[in-house]
Chains A and B, each alone.
Chain A
């Protein structure tokens, strides 16, 4: 399969302009014969919304904003980030997988960072589900930013048989040292390498760039193979657009060598997790 990573800088709260940008880039990816284009977290709205969350929200079932995506998804699948309104007045930091003319799956961010420079739980409801789902490219799981830094969330997708883990991100860079990237970029790459190898799955990480209220989103989007090797990496801090061919047969090859999937024992993990949760064995 061919995949496009759209490492963009969305316009804060201007959903209309962002939709147009998405469609243009999807067209571009389509011309390059890509099967799937991935955008960053909250790619339709920008990140630092605060009190603007309700104004930027979309209900994909009722809102016509998604019609254009449904239409183009007959030719190229799209993963994007948006503010989802569920019912009336519940807002989620969500990601949608749109393919074959329909919204195949919506993931609602479970882990909302609320510390230091982050205040997501102040403005968003917390998602409760982590599920892998069937796509034309194999079983796929979506995670959003801080979700991906939780190894439990990745383990759930692994145990559900995910072949592809897609992480949408709006990660601000932090920490400067002698390297030519933010210290935090290294952390994401470390997780990408680890999760891909120990899940024997592709990991596709699409981060955004640009500044919002002084925060510099760090870019550095990447793809890791099911054996944990880096396939590509986008520019740090600048906009970028990568097209990459993924050889899905690598999944089978990796799993003949690395037995983590075969030897996984989710029932043992579950039993012991149950004890940790319900018997207060912290």
Chain B
């Protein structure tokens, strides 16, 4: 049993519950509990990650289980950055439950990828592999932030147009703020995705002599890349609602690239 991760999960669940309560009842003390719990969870989570790294003697980011755990960890990092920059609390209410869910999934998924973990990382230019995966997971976290900001944008935009406001409306950050968060995160996510794809191509050309395998994951990653490229290109013309719609749709594509393509088989299926 992974007690360290279990303890992290407990802290994350506590954080999620308090974040929701703080959102509903606007109690500053409850909010503090959520933030402290999140910090504790993050510390434990980091410790679990480092322990795995030392124990297994390899970068612990391979296969579904480790990827889910790492994704949760990067989401906390992304939230920390967004919170530091914009002081927005509402995001945590949606993000902390997701983090708790991902860690739960991590604890439930069986480990079955260890056997193949060595093969990629020990081949030619194997050192690129952890960079490739880390970059991509961070880009997913950034796209999640884009998604959350876009959803908040669309929700508020709709209520402003209809002129009827729900309780949620008053608790969300302003339109300009969420638009700003969305476009900043999209820029970061896109850069990370580009670098992730490039490192993947380098790794693959070193190990198999091909940079492209026509693998579903590669195809969808390319489509995702093109979509965000378009979004960034039309940043000004699409400012506001259109960008937000792309932010939501793009994240659907990200999820599919991440999970859906597993079902379609191919070069990228490990776990």
Q: Decide if A and B are genuine partners.
A: no
> Interface of A with B (CB < 8 Å)?
none
> Interface of B with A (CB < 8 Å)?
none
